[in-house]
Amino acid sequence: MTKEAPYKEIALRKQAERQSRIPRAWLLAALPPSATLDVRSIPRNCGILTAQEIHITEACDATALAQAIRQRKVTSEAVTIAFCKRAAIAQQVTNCLTEIFFQDAIATAKLLDEEYARTGIVRGPLHGVPMSLKDTFKVKGYDASIGIASLAKNPAKENSLLVDILLEQGAVLYCKTGIPQTLMALDSENHLFGRVMNPRNRLVTAGGSSGGEGALIGMRGSVLGVGTDVGGSIRVPAMCNGLYGIKPSARRVPYVGQQGTQKAGTSAVGLPASAGPLATSIRDCELFMEAISNASPWERDPHVYLGGLNKQGTVQEEPLIGIIRRDGVTEPHPPVNKVLDETAEALRRSGIDVIEIDAPAFKKCQSLTNKFFGVDGNNYVFDLLEATGEPLVGWLQGKLRRGTEMSLDKLVGFQAQKTELETEMLKIWREPITGRTVDAIILPVAPHPVAPIDRWSGVGYTSSFVLLDYPAGTLPVRDFQEADMDDELTGEPLNSWDKNNRELWNKPFDRSVYLNTKLSIQVIAPKLQERRLLQAMNLIDRALRGSNTQPKL
């Protein structure tokens, strides 16, 4: 009789442990039927949350909550309990959580309230605000298994540096969130925890690799979370769940002390990932970035650049926004082009100049980016998987395999090509006739709307800006509507990538799957100009929505 591979028993134990950490009173009486596609209303209607807890979790962003706590309108304990309860519900309908530490969080919130009552001083700008974390971050006493069985039951002995900084700034950490196996997919599924589902429409992906963060915040089980991005892993889940998400330039936010899928030091010779926020408002992204900058992380992480947001450039008094419509590899679907047009028109109505930008070098980025992935031959992650007999999930089968480590000569050659391409792409930041500075550029997050499960096509629109190290963000524009299904995508495919992309639009594909998903744009700024990016995104958001004030308690 064949013995079952160890990873299966580990997964059962791990899932049972996670379930045991949800209080009985927070369990749903019955899970929604499989036919239920939009589950966002369940927390509001299930009877577990009080009216005040519904208001706290739905009507306020993190900035408003921090202000309300400082003004003593609400306690951190009350806010934390509200989000723990809503996160528990979110887990039951989207499978978005990995590690749960609700009781620790409530105890921390009580201490913060007592400290504030005694001293009248808040710890920092995040004082009392609950925050969620991608599973890659280490929290002392809990696993950072990243969905791999051989890493389970191995509690972290210390926090990642960013975790320490968030705690010092007053944040209350209460859960960690789901990711794809190997962190190398844009749909979050693994054998240890299962698949994360999109709360807006469970027929489409929640994104990856920060998919659990996206789903949790999309359910309002969190208002501010931290993801990581080395190919689109913050920006894609933000798009999939109708959120704001920022990928800073590398080494702007501390990244040390995380659990990854490569040997330590590999990113220094390849493409380094970035940590950044997913949120329900632009100002919450800025709140996160300022909180990190105020902590002077360069004093504790030798890789973080000296300086913070206040030392960066800003948008001009008369802003100039550029548009790049395509990467030359995959042709955007009609609704993707339409929201670019709508955004440009909204900016022009607001008195902001918008120009079209031709970027022929953009076409070269995806190919070169792909060459940097798998610098170590993927051997480290395969060692982790094979230790418990764990196979690749379906989407990764045939796409990921063991290889040989990249030779020094080849790596040096790719780095030389990267420098040449970075230099060529600098031209996009100047208007060619007048020489006027372009403040920021809008373009697609992906060439298609939010894709069905396991069908995400091109990553060039996001991974290219990891190669170039530009700060980049996702900004939601509007819901996909029935009228968006009418237009056709004409012409012949540009290549095999574009052929796959067109199969997500052209008949016999059923475009109605995109209904109830969000159409978003991507915004980019020059390297290390996160303040400029945030200011530009705020300008664009206001142009699209008018005064973007948030309700207060």
Contacts of 111 (CB under 8 A, 6+ apart): none
Q: Which of 145, 233, 463, 464 is catalytic?
A: 233
Dihedral of the alpha carbons of 453, 454, 456, 459, in degrees to the nearest 10: 140
DSSP one-letter string for 360-384: TTHHHHHHHHHHHTTTTTTHHHHHH
On the CB side of 399, CA atoms within 13 Å amount to: 14
233 catalytic residue (yes or no): yes
134 catalytic residue (yes or no): yes
Dihedral of the alpha carbons of 20, 278, 349, 339, in degrees to the nearest 10: -70
**CA R_g for the chain:** 22
Side chain identity, residue 350? S
Spatial separation of the C-alpha atoms in residues 322 and 347, rounded to whole Å = 11
Spatial separation of the C-alpha atoms in residues 468 and 423, rounded to whole Å = 9
Q: Which of 14, 85, 134, 518 is catalytic?
A: 134
Question: HEC states along 87-104?
Answer: HHHHHHHHCCEEEECHHH
Is the separation of the CB atoms in 552 and 66 below 8 Å?
A: no
DSSP assigned state of 482:
G
Question: Nearest-CA neighbor of 138 among 164, 106, 120, 117?
Answer: 164
What pairing do the DSSP bridges indicate for beta strands 244-247 and 472-479? antiparallel
Q: Which of 76, 160, 209, 267 is catalytic?
A: 209
Distance of CA 178 to the CA centre of its chain: 11
Known binding residue 183? Answer is: yes
Is the separation of the CB atoms in 45 and 51 below 8 Å?
A: no
Distance of CA 477 to the CA centre of its chain: 17
Spatial separation of the C-alpha atoms in residues 197 and 216, rounded to whole Å = 10
Contacts of 76 (CB under 8 A, 6+ apart): 69, 109, 110, 112, 113, 116, 127, 128, 129, 172
Known binding residue 233? Answer is: yes
Known binding residue 435? Answer is: no
Spatial separation of the C-alpha atoms in residues 508 and 432, rounded to whole Å = 42
Known binding residue 265? Answer is: no
Residues in the chain: 553
147: left (phi over 0), alpha (psi -120 to 50) or beta: left
Spatial separation of the C-alpha atoms in residues 115 and 110, rounded to whole Å = 9
Spatial separation of the C-alpha atoms in residues 154 and 177, rounded to whole Å = 17
Q: Residue 134, SS3?
A: strand
DSSP assigned state of 224:
E
Question: Nearest-CA neighbor of 292 among 397, 171, 146, 183?
Answer: 171
Residue with tokens 């306020």: 60
Known binding residue 139? Answer is: no
Known binding residue 315? Answer is: no
CA-based torsion, 81, 86, 91, 92: positive or negative? positive
Q: For residue 131, what is the enclosing H or E element? A: strand 130-134
210 catalytic residue (yes or no): no
Helices then strands, each counted (H, E), the chain: 17, 13
Q: Distances from the Cα of 400 to the Cαs of 223, 375, 516, in angstroms?
A: 34, 13, 32
Could you tell me which residues are annotated as the binding site?
183, 209, 230-233
Active site residues: 134, 209, 233
Could you tell me which residues are annotated as the binding site for substrate?
183, 209, 230-233
